[in-house]
Amino acid sequence: MKKNDLIAAIAKKENCSKKEADKALNLVLDAISDALVAGEKVSITGFGTFEVRERPAKQCKNPRTGEVMTTKPCKALAFKAGKTLKDAVNPEK
């Protein structure tokens, strides 16, 4: 599903225009992005948690040359699905 498909699904479900659904989705995504940039964790009950994790520098080898290199430390985005979402994706039999 792409962003336009998500906007259409929101508009259909809430019986509103695609323009209104696009605005609402963009507001939610902007709020999540702003919180992550500020270093905050975003928890949506029943859906999951978004967070930024620090990755330290590490030693690795270039597979082509065998040269040992050091990667730079960086920040990585992480998402952990909530129980409700996990159960919806993997229903018990």
What SS3 class is residue 23?
Answer: helix
Cα separation, 22 vs 18, whole angstroms = 6
Topology classification of domain 3-83 = HU Protein; Chain A (4.10.520)
Residues 29-52: tens digit of each pLDDT: 999 999 999 999 999 999 999 999
Model pTM above 0.85: no
* pLDDT-derived band at 86, boundaries 50, 70, 90: very high
